[in-house]
Amino acid sequence: MRDPVIGIDLGTTNSAVATVEGGQPRLIPSRAGGRLTPSVVGLTPRTAERVVGVPAQTLAEEHPDCVVWATKRFIGRRFTPELLQSARAVVPYPLMGGTTGDVRVKMAGRTVPVTQVAAMILGELKLDAEAYFGREVSQCVITVPANFDDGQRQATREAAAIAGLDVLRLINEPTAAALAYGLSRGFEGHALVFDLGGGTFDVTVLEVTDGVYEVKATGGDPALGGEDFDLRIVDWLLAQVEEPFREQVHRDVTSMHKLKVAAEQAKRELSEYEETLISLGGLGDHSQPTRKFTGLETALTRSFFEQLCEALSKRCLAVCESVMRDARMEPSRVDAVLLVGGMTRVPFIRRLVSDFFGKAASTEVNPDEAVALGAAIHSDELTSQAGAALLLDVVGNSLGVGVLGGKVRRLIARNRSVPVVAKELFHPGSHNQKEARIPIYQGESDLQDENRKLGELVLRNLQAGSRADTPLEVTFELSNEGILAVRAVDLQTGLSEQVRVEARPHLPAPEADRLVKEQAAYSQKQAQVDARKSEDKFRKLLERGEKLARLLQHSAEENPGEQNETAAANVRSLLDTGRVALESQDAARCAQVARELSHLLAGRQA
């Protein structure tokens, strides 16, 4: 039996895990029974016990200072004053810098690396998959936004390693969504993926032909997502709080969390109705011993919500226009538009898409599930080597070398196909220079200050002489996963240096080792709890199966026929297999029988 492989969508708002069974991708339910896991993590106030997903959302109602969410926006980033300032407008919890400059969050009085938060979510998805299969699961494909840089991708890999996962490949979220869409419908032509998630916005144009998925252009806004639309409602609600209380509410974590939850609920309701009522109480300063609170009663219409978000809508359109220019295509040439991300359920977003491209977007794929399903398809492709699909992706951000005058000379342009190797000759900045520093930048500007510096390669022991007589060949090599290697060679002497560019600081090795051990201990303890629950659940499932077997047997006796007799025999055989597996403590076999029996029972009820 081949080891199970999974596809993971590690999202800003929700995360999901999927697999391929019988040639079809399917979502793996959480152990709590849901299809999606909220990307929310908390630590309980007294015991610092971790909670992930819905339990963390519940904890936030009473202890919002013990919970963090939307941390994907900060993974793999370097802690800077600019990042701190921008974060304050998006999330209420404090951000802090680690010893190596990594980003950390504070919850329940503890400082936690953002990478560890991601690992906690990934670990929970891993446990869901292991409960589903009844065996250990380690191999996976994880999706990332198309505009994630090398640092963010490597931080995602580091989080997966802490969670005990072996990442076969990272693939871009829009490409994964198109993969699910294409294989499920046999689509060929130009497809555009409009991916508006909780924290990021990506647009990708692909050409699908005979199982080849060739990305033509990709672009996005890394600071635009559902969270920003929610904040428009939060700001509007805050403006309606009575003046004596407004500043208190703005400073109070509990009150602001109430506004955030109300905003999310209002946004969802406005996708179904033209108007929603918002009623809130307990707004004020919860830290004061003498508490005085106020409330808020208001109504929000769909049309006014659209006005509040007009500037955000324009940013969405600007990205679409930019990507179509890069693809050298008119919007009308797009054959199908695939919506991805929960925000694409909002009516005015769908209207915006249909107006721009001149056609209604596809609604045949669940926008919350498409990315995970595509990741599962690709993970199955990689392990089975079936060769049904070939992914040809592109560079999400231009890459270049800093030169004299504060400029950047571009070696790899955005939207160039990957993998790619680019070479160019440079010379030292002055005569008799004994070492050359080669700064590496990412971004679309010609100016260094307007781009992001990824790192620096230093070539030492140059032969002193005229700069014109010291040619330096710089080579950029970018992998399928957007991982950059840079090499510099002094062509006169053959002296060379090479570096794998790291755009972020790693966690300190001792801390990373400690987190791996903590996660392993948590997973082992939780797996034992899950095993007991699974056994109890399986026994009850066998009881339901027994009732179905008697019903089918009775039906076969009243209406003799090969079909009825076969159906009864199949269920009886499945039950016998299940009992043997239960007695021998074969968890994997029990899980397989449970999946088959659940499918039969669900079909019978339908």
Distance CA 492, CA 442 (A): 29
Cβ atoms 546, 600 nearer than 8 A: no
For residue 209 the two structure tokens come to 């032909």
149, 158, 195, 228: which one is catalytic?
A: 195
Distance CA 497, CA 507 (A): 25
Distance CA 173, CA 206 (A): 13
440-to-161, 275, 407, 484, 553 alpha-carbon distances in Å: 27, 51, 11, 10, 72
110-to-65, 66, 88, 344, 365 alpha-carbon distances in Å: 10, 9, 19, 35, 40
The three-class DSSP label of residue 152 is: helix
Strands 420-426 and 472-478, by their bridges, are: antiparallel
Distance CA 4, CA 24 (A): 14
Half-sphere exposure of 10 (CA within 13 A, CB side): 35
Distance CA 268, CA 422 (A): 47
Asked about 272 being catalytic, the answer comes back as no
Cβ atoms 405, 451 nearer than 8 A: no
CA 352 from centre of chain: 24
65, 72, 228, 490: which one is catalytic?
A: 72
Alpha-carbon torsion 208, 210, 213, 216, what sign?
A: negative
Q: Phi, psi at residue 526, to the nearest 5°? A: -70, -35
* DSSP E strand stretches across 95-232: 95-97, 103-107, 110-113, 139-144, 166-172, 189-196, 201-209, 212-221
Give the H/E segment covering residue 552.
helix 509-558
For residue 378 the two structure tokens come to 């690709």
For residue 385 the two structure tokens come to 């080597």
b/e per residue, 68-84, with b = 16+ CB within 10 A? bbbbbbbbbbbbeeebe
Q: Which of 471, 463, 468 is nearest to 489 (CA)?
A: 471
Alpha-carbon torsion 385, 390, 392, 396, what sign?
A: negative
Strands 5-9 and 484-490, by their bridges, are: unpaired
Cβ atoms 75, 115 nearer than 8 A: yes
69-to-52, 118, 199 alpha-carbon distances in Å: 10, 10, 11
9, 124, 264, 393: which one is catalytic?
A: 9
Q: Bridge partners of 5?
A: 139
Asked about 173 being catalytic, the answer comes back as yes
Query: Which residue's entry shows tokens 């635009």?
Result: 224
b/e per residue, 111-150, with b = 16+ CB within 10 A? ebbbbbbbbbbbbbbbbbbbbbbbbebbebbbbbbbbbbb
130, 173, 381, 393: which one is catalytic?
A: 173
For residue 406 the two structure tokens come to 């504060």
Q: Residues with catalytic annotation?
A: 9, 72, 173, 195
